[in-house]
Structure 1
Amino acid sequence: MTPPRNDRTLLPLAAGHRDGGRSAATCIWKCGDACSQPVPNTTDNEYFGDVVAASRRSVLKAGGAAAALAGMTTIAGAALTDQAAAAAPGNKAPFGFTPIDPVTAGTDEFVVPEGFQWTPIIAWGDPVLAGAPAFDFDNQTAAAQAGQMGYNCDYVGVLRNGSANAAVLVVNNEYTNNELMFHGYTDAASLTDDQVGITLNAHGMTVVEMTRKNPNSKWTYTKAAPLNRRITAETPFEFVGPVRGHDLVKTSADPAGTTPLGTFGNCAGGSTPWGTVLSGEENFNFYFTQPEAPTEDRAGEAAARYGLAGGNQAQHNWDRLDTRFDLTQEPNEANRHGWIVEVDPFDPQGAPRKLTALGRFKHEGANVTVNSDGRVVVYMGDDERFDYMYKFVSAGTWSSSDAAHNHTLLEEGDLYVAKFNGNGSADGLHDGDGQWLPLVVDGRSEVPGFTVEEVLVYTRLAADAVSPTKMDRPEDVEVNPVNGRVYAALTNNSKRTPAQVDEANPRANNKHGQVLEITPRGGDHSSADFDWKLVLICGDPSDPETYFNGYDTSQVSPISCPDNVAFDGEGNLWIATDGNALGHCDGMYLMPLEGEHKGHLQQFLSVPAFSECCGPLIEWDDRVVFAAVQHPGEDDGASTTNIKSTFPYTGNTQPRPAVVMIWPEAKGPKGDKGPKGDKGPKGDKGPRGPVVETDRV
């Protein structure tokens, strides 16, 4: 065991979050307070469409004011359709619900529409593996946590297990908050070695089997089921792809550079057509004790670009237990994190894999589609202010009969980064065309001065060199399975100045974010060219700069800070938010992309006090929605004695992140009766168990 390092500074407490409405506590524990740190991308890459964007904003402001004076409703200079203009507030959305009202920030309620109910499926500490004890907050151990559900849950995947009523649930466990997990916590040095081990084991991923009685009943996870699994910050992985065995990923513990340990900072993800799950390693940088200053070479340049220099001590003191978390001793260890990882939930003994062909950056997630030519295409976002969007195109093609071959498809292929061009304001829209700029093609580097391995390990530096478009925190990027277009959540960026706006990122001091639609040229996801449009510019609908795909802004729900996107069986867009800056709790929203309700954004649920809504997953046929409630009660000053939430309201006295399901209260699909839940506040349906108190704040 390595003794604690007390000669390095801990990350400072933030005065408040600069982007969106997160608490400073969430900033500290989730991302190392990234938004108060200097912007890592210091390149002078062009901001496209500066003049266009300025004129565009003038059109929006003038158009909004004129419409108000004239008593007319116009959106972005385009007239509403008759159907949209006739829509009344409270109209039911295609999913069959009346939207809820926004819930005031800090309110400790889980609110769903009238006619729906909810229940937790699994929460932090619930036993997963055989022999794991029931959760006991006051008697946690590292050994117990290794067999229990991990802490903050983000991505949610549900894969069928041979039956409509049997499935495997896969969940990311992104990060931990020592202030909410341990009594008497003051700083990392105050943790016992076993508590440090608890945090190591509370990160990673959780896999559990689930069953239900019928399509109208609730899902229940099965303890100690054969496929149940915990993947932690210490689980052995396998490198696959071009970087496997390269000098940049070799360490003293792994001189072959083939077997990295652990995954952490896992944010969003996706599933593959061959039944595996992808998970994005995002805010990995602040888990390491860092050198005071970067070296004067490419490795040092990359360290600065990835936030890996500055003398900060590892947030959780993990280097106390393992020197690999001290970059002054193991400088290559950081290169072994920041990847997309692949897990086969049906092979609990198989080593999870780190996919080096997809590049290394702060991955929000990765989502796969099969192109018309059989190649698989993966879309990804780098979740940092002024960073980029990426695309991977496999070298091989998908097979409907060769599962073993399909498992190799993400090991070799081409990597691209996106450039967006605005086309002016004449059409009254934020739209244009773009190109995927090559980084690696046919096994060769397309970036002068970079080898293939350097492009993939130092992907941010390689992308900087080809001048892509700096985006407003590109997070979840997914393909709509119905219309074939790609949708990206751009969460916010309060660091963007008026001189830096462009048509794809149209606002300075952007606290609310936007959603971008990409249409591959000719419907070909491997094409180098695409068209794009902003279908949602978030914020208070009374703000004339907001835009809801042409729908009447007086008829929509307010929304701020889109984070994750998903789609239902009709291709409607579902959005989960993180850091609502409008004074409301985060939540989940539905926005149709076609038909008479196109752009009619409506709020479906609201998550409890100081939590984030994650992992939206929609099972259209059964009208079931899955969501992950991350960091409930994570307010500034919250602790185990100053409790700000008791979610999931199952008798626990401390907040516990959890995965929940929401489904119709009275009727299932085709008119079948479903189980009833107890009523929560204001007539909304609470979990089967205690009634949610209406005076809880």
Structure 2
Amino acid sequence: MAHDLSRPLDPFNDEDSNTTPNPHIDQIVQARLSRRGLLRGALGGAGLVGAAGLTACASTGQGAVASPLGSLGFKPVAKSMADMVVVPEGYTATIVYALGDPLSASTPDFKNDGSDTAFDQRAGDHHDGMEWFGLDAQGKPSRTASARGVIAMNHEATTDQKLSSFFLHANGGASTLPRPASEIDKELMIHGLSVVELQNDGKRWAYQKASPFNRRVTTMSDAVIHGPARGSEHLVTRYDPTATKARGTLNNCGSGKTPWGTYVSGEENWFGYFFRDAQDDDRRKKDKQVQALVRYGRKAGAASRHGWESGGSDERYARWNNGALAASAKDDFRNEMNTFGYVVEIDPYDKTQAVRKRTALGRLGHENCTFARAVAGQPVVAYMGDDARGEYIYKFVSAARWDAADAEPANRLAAGDKYLDKGTLYVARFKDDGSGEWLELSMDNPVIAGSSYFEFKNAADIAVFTRLAADAVGATKMDRPEWAGVNPKNGEVYITLTNNSNRTPAATDAANPRSYTDLKNGKEQKGNVNGHVIRLAETQPAASAFKWDIFLFAAEAGADKSTINLSNLSDANDLSSPDGLVFSQATGLCWIETDDGAYTDKTNCMLLAAVPGRVGDGGTRTLTHGNRTVTTHAGKPQTPATLKRFLVGPKGAEITGITETPDGRALFVNIQHPGENTNMADIGNPAKYESHWPASVGYGVGQRPRSATIVITKNDGGLIGS
């Protein structure tokens, strides 16, 4: 999850490379676009966090679902700026798994003082998207088990200022180049994924330190390239001239669970980890990759996020310099950046199999990947957002038709090969009449095959340079598409559009209709400051057209209800910057998490529960921007009965991944980067840390804040949210 645009730290999380004059909605020149080529139908007293305990869930549109609740059965929590997790009366939140927790019996307990090592055997940093995978009493995979299971989890990034992960190192780390190799080695290990076993003994949840299922995937782990980019000249590196293998996964953000029972993770803001010097464009001369490098946020001479390339000549450092430094791509790492930016898949039950990078789903700033309910005889369909200002919403439709026998395959990753390696990728175009269309990204589309914007020779080019293909067909530029979720009751797709400081009044359109000024601590914030949630309805998931409306306009309760607070939000449910979005398979509730910087003068980030409606349940709203008007399509206004604040996090934290047990009685939520606004110069003075959570509530030792997973249960044992 990329940080909110108003947060001053971490500019690499606010990638902004879509400077194309891509038209908005109805500005496409129709004569240039062939409908036949673009629109190919794919079918032809609040509870406070304490220590100990654990649980998780599935959120992928699989399995049975109860009818959505008619209302929300809990008292909303108030906004809070306290350094704690606040949940409703009648609920308990317990910390179960935090940065540095050991994942093997031989790994020492976490000291949390900057001296710890062996992070390839510990929980990584910045807990993010996660999914639940059940285990029965014999330790076998189970889709219904709710007392024992493994959680597969993303570790997106690290809390950093001036290059280093300052809470990870004893003295805060080096702030100048070259970086010490020992610091880089730690940072290479805290990124990636983890798989951790959790059990409930009837009294409490706890993670199992010595479980044989426990696993870390880091930036150095083996990965295999699958799909159309396998063997592409654009993925050739010194590490693997055959372009069939890569190393590791990076900046993993949102998650998903496949119909065949594997875990998928989106590689998001990977571009900032690389460096190429100011002369690199000249060395590449007429190489078309110069255009692609800039479009993916990597300008020549720009500093990298952590300076990993400065650690020495060893390949584990040299690979982060993606300049054209040798005679050919086989002799350097000019293409290393092209090996990132994909949806990656693992089998959380089988640590012997390497990560697979599914290039058919495109290369972009992937947030998450969510699947429509699989239907026998129909293609498998997945939805994805590209999290950056002015980027796009995508859909993948498999070539293979779903076979129900693959729900329990002998080899789960082989099933992934079947459904994710071949298919068609589409990008969304929104029309101002509330309809939309999926534009095909393939060489069968004459706009791409004959593009003068960028030369596409084959399917591998589209897979590696997906953003440029979407530019070429005229997709609609959106306000940072993040998580997508599928309503299990009616199949409608909800997508969070977190915010966009670049959305000017002149650039507003029906799908992104707001541009306004908001004040925070007396300072102006402009654009679509608070973000919104859009939703799509299709006649079937593989359809080439859709209807849309805006389910929720995020806003402060006191904002103008005619121009900003269009969803009629109150103190019980106002919010800013919706980010994570997951539907409960047990209740049908829609959970919405925030990654906010615009409203943090009034409240820490939060989790809300919503009762979803359906596309078209509201009406149109017309907004005036100077001498022009924009008419949008809005869902019905919210009330405290349909949208409530369920949780508020500690200081500086983002509320990230979320999953539940199949019975809906344990909800897992990730708390990412508490205390991120701490000044690096104060590393030796814990009294000045912005946050001390979770040690401040009894979990672990030391005073340095840690990203962590909590489990929320209802005190009467009931369904969460009911």
What residue number does 1:378 align with?
382
Partner of 1:421: 431
Distance 1:620 1:540, change over 3 A: farther
User: Is the 1:587–1:613 contact (alpha carbons within 8 Å) kept by the matching residues of 2?
Assistant: yes
CA deviation string 1:523-581 (max 9, x = no partner):
x1111100000010111133235799997534741110000101123322110000241
Partner of 2:575: 559
How big is the shift at 1:123? 0.3
Q: Aligned residue for 1:438?
A: 440
Letter of the aligned partner of 1:593 in structure 2?
Answer: P
Find the counterpart in structure 1 of residue 317 from structure 2: 322
Maintained 8 Å contact 1:536/1:546? no
> 2:247 maps to which residue?
261
The residue aligned with 1:652 is: 702
SS of residue in 2 equivalent to 1:181 = coil
**1:443 deviation in Å?**
11
Of residues 193, 217, 221, the one that matches 1:205 is 193
Q: How does 1:220-299 map to 2 (within 5 A)?
A: 220-292=206-278, 294=281, 295=284, 296-299=286-289
The answer (yes or no) to whether the contact 1:111–1:605 under 8 Å persists in 2 is: yes
TM-score of the aligned structures, taking structure 1 as reference length: 0.80
Find the counterpart in structure 2 of residue 392 from structure 1. Answer: 396
Number of residue equivalences = 590
How big is the shift at 1:223? 1.0
RMSD of the TM alignment (CA)? 2.6
**Which of 670, 679, 685 is equivalent to 1:637?**
679
Instruction: Choose from 150, 153, 175 the match for 1:187.
Output: 175
Deviation at 1:140, TM superposition (A): 3.2
Counterpart pick for 1:151 among 125, 128, 133: 125
8 Å CA contact 2:559–2:565 kept in 1: the answer is no
Shift of 1:624: 2.1
Amino acid at match of 2:210: A
Deviation string, structure 1 residues 5-62 (Cα, Å, up to 9, x no partner): xxxxxxxxxxxx995553x22x34xxx2536xxx311111212269xxxxxxxxxxxx
Sort the Cα spacing of 1:551 and 1:417 in 2 relative to 1 into closer, same or farther, 3 A.
Answer: closer
> Which has the higher mean CA deviation after the structures are superposed, 151-160 or 447-456?
447-456
Pair 1:616 & 2:661 matched = no
Amino acid at match of 1:588: L
Say whether the 8 Å CA contact 1:282–1:363 is kept in structure 2.
Answer: yes
Q: Distance in 1 between matches of 2:350 and 2:381?
A: 24
**Corresponding residue of 1:366:** 369
Once the two structures are superposed, what CA deviation does each residue of 1:626-653 show, in whole Å capped at 9, x if it has no partner?
A: 1111111000525433311111132431
Distance 1:21 1:44, change over 3 A: closer
1:581 to 592, 598, 615: 598
* 1:479-558 to 2 correspondences below 5 Å: 479-508=486-515, 509-520=527-538, 522=539, 524-545=540-561, 552-554=568-570, 556-558=572-574
Q: Compute the displacement of 1:186 (Å).
A: 4.2
* Distance in 2, Cα, partners of 1:371 & 1:529: 19
Which 5+ residue runs of structure 2 have no aligned equivalent? 28-68, 137-144, 160-164, 326-332, 516-526, 615-635
- The offset of 1:400, in angstroms, is 2.3
Name the CA distance, whole Å, in 1 between partners of 2:502 and 2:719: 50
Displacement after TM superposition at 1:441 (Å)? 7.2
Return the alpha-carbon distance in structure 2 between the equivalents of residues 309 and 552 of structure 1.
Answer: 42
Shift of 1:591: 1.3
**CA offset at residue 444 of structure 1?**
10
Output aligned runs, 1:111-190, within 5 Å. Answer: 111-138=86-113, 140-142=115-117, 144-162=118-136, 163-177=145-159, 178-184=165-171, 185-189=173-177
The whole-number CA distance in structure 1 between the counterparts of 2:346 and 2:463 is 20
Percent identity of the aligned residues?
Answer: 35
From the superposition, tell whether residues 141 and 553 of structure 1 become closer, same or farther in structure 2 (CA, over 3 Å). Answer: closer
Counterparts in 2 of 1:532 and 1:218: CA distance versus 1, 3 Å: farther
Which of 98, 113, 117 does residue 75 from structure 2 map onto? 98
CA distance in 2 between counterparts of 1:285 and 1:435 reads: 29
What is the aligned partner in structure 2 of residue 668 from structure 1?
717
Change (3 A) 1:93 1:132: farther
Deviations 1:207-237 (A, max 9, x none): 01111124xx432111121111000000010
In 1, the alpha carbon distance for the partners of 2:597 and 2:234 equals 39
Cα displacement string for residues 80-133 of structure 1 (whole angstroms, at most 9, x for unaligned residues): xxxxxxxxxxxx9845210011113xx312111111111111000000134222
* CA drift at 1:286: 1.0
Letter in 2 for 1:111: V
CA distance in 1, matches of 2:502, 2:442: 31
- Aligned positions of 1:466-481 closer than 5 A: 466-481=473-488
Equivalent residue for 1:333, pick from 333, 336, 340? 336
Paired position in structure 2 for 1:34: 14
**Offset at 1:356?**
0.7
Q: TM-score, normalised by structure 2?
A: 0.77
- Give the conservation status (yes or no) of the 8 Å contact 1:537–1:545: no
Q: 2:421 matched to which residue of 1?
A: 411
Deviations 1:168-226 (A, max 9, x none): 11110011131222233341537432221000000000101111124xx4321111211
- 1:256 is displaced (CA, Å) by 0.9
Deviation string 1:234-256 (CA, Å, 9 cap, x unpaired) is 00100111111111101011111
Decide whether aligned partners of structure 1 residues 606 and 323 sit closer, same or farther in structure 2, where only a CA change above 3 A counts.
Answer: same
CA distance in 1, matches of 2:70, 2:652: 27
Give the equivalent residue in structure 2 for 1:460. 467
What is the CA–CA distance in structure 1 between the aligned matches of 2:714 and 2:290, rounded to whole Å? 54
List alignment gaps of at least 5 residues for structure 1: 1-16, 51-91, 424-431, 672-697
Kindly indicate whether the alpha-carbon contact (under 8 Å) linking 1:444 and 1:452 is maintained by their aligned counterparts in 2. Answer: no
Q: Determine the structure 1 residue equivalent to 2:328.
A: none
Give, as a single letter, the amino acid of the residue that structure 2 aligns with 1:157.
Answer: E
Post-superposition shift, 1:620? 7.0
Q: Does the 8 Å contact 2:133/2:149 carry over to 1?
A: yes
Of 351, 354, 357, the residue aligned with 1:351 is: 354
Tell me the equivalent position of 2:670: 628
CA distance in 1, matches of 2:216, 2:556: 41
TM superposition shift of 1:137: 2.5
2:51 is aligned to none
Could you say if the C-alpha distance between residues 526 and 546 of structure 1 is closer, same or farther in structure 2, counting changes exceeding 3 Å? farther
1:514, 1:597 → 2: CA distance? 13
CA spacing shift, 1:95–1:229, aligned 2, 3 Å: farther
Q: Is the 8 A contact 1:95 1:623 kept in 2?
A: no
Cα 1:553/1:571, change in 2 over 3 Å: same
The letter of the residue matching 2:128 is D
Further displaced range: 575-584 or 151-160: 575-584
Q: Aligned with 2:177: secondary structure?
A: helix
In 2, are the aligned partners of 1:123 and 1:656 still within 8 Å (CA)? Answer: yes
Is the Cα contact below 8 Å between 1:627 and 1:660 reproduced in 2? yes
